[in-house]
Structure 1
């Protein structure tokens, strides 16, 4: 259980693909104009991560080390093709909105990195859970950045939810405020860079606070022990 807790903490926070490793930033910054776009790409990336990690783990003792990277890329490309065809069939409007960034999941360094660093060295269940947590951490950042940009830029939240969830989500969008002109800085790519920088800064600030508290607590325990021994 401790291993799975560590994997969850690594993927969601400590080693988050977007906030710490800074991988997959091209699609992250490009498609996060809305929460739904971010969620759609995040789910697709998570599915590819889980599928590729499982497959790499299964063949890790069969594939020779000299050709492992090309084999891993072919596995990832196969899963990306499957996801692309499924989205084309069932979420066509979202598929059009994400465009070229769905097939570009093949080149996402976070996926090939987890296949090489973790899945190729571990059994199926830990590899699948690692893919799930890394994908969940990546998706969370996509949705958070998309929410920030959508609210600031358009004053809405969950716009276009029916593109992912179907007609049942037609009434899901929330109008937070209305403006005569949209805040273009938030909608355009510069807003994505600024928002991403703020998220990274917030994470680093929280990490620094936690480290300071831990150091203070450790220092107090050390003083108590020294006093007791004296």
Structure 2
């Protein structure tokens, strides 16, 4: 059985973007520790990395697709669209489900324009609305109930974004956080792993780590 994820236009875009991201990895050495950026405003931090991909892994993308196909969420929210790699996986799942919509957020205007072009080239732009600006503000108007969240923006902001979305999370909603091996994700992990905060959470062993949390209460 074929899926949107295996369509030639989608594979062509993903292969090109992953190849470019792999080239980035050879040149960037400070992304695992955002402390060097904390003194600057978020917008300046985003534009200083406007040419850097920082994507999920291919295995992480396949996992996102599978989770979205299984959960069949009406609303998907993505914090940190970057060049749109993870967005393509989510949009492909929504397209194959025949229902739902993806709302992505991106602070860098350079990346936002590139992501729009990549989604159009892949043929999945109709499934996605991209919101420019600080996700802690722009995601406030995304309609609930939200069934799936991907947190892959600035790591020190992931917990703030999650808390802002919590009132609109559907019962059983899935929250996926990327790069959980980074020290800057420690507060986030403590939060979702504490039963008092209403999640059942498990670490998933893909590149740089993912945390999959179910909104259980």
- TM-score normalised to the size of structure 2? 0.24
Q: Between Structure 1 and Structure 2, which shows a larger proportion of strand residues?
A: 2
Q: Larger relative CO (CA 8 A, sep 6+): 1 or 2?
A: 1
Q: Between Structure 1 and Structure 2, which shows a larger proportion of helix residues?
A: 1
- Report the structure number with the largest CA radius of gyration: 1
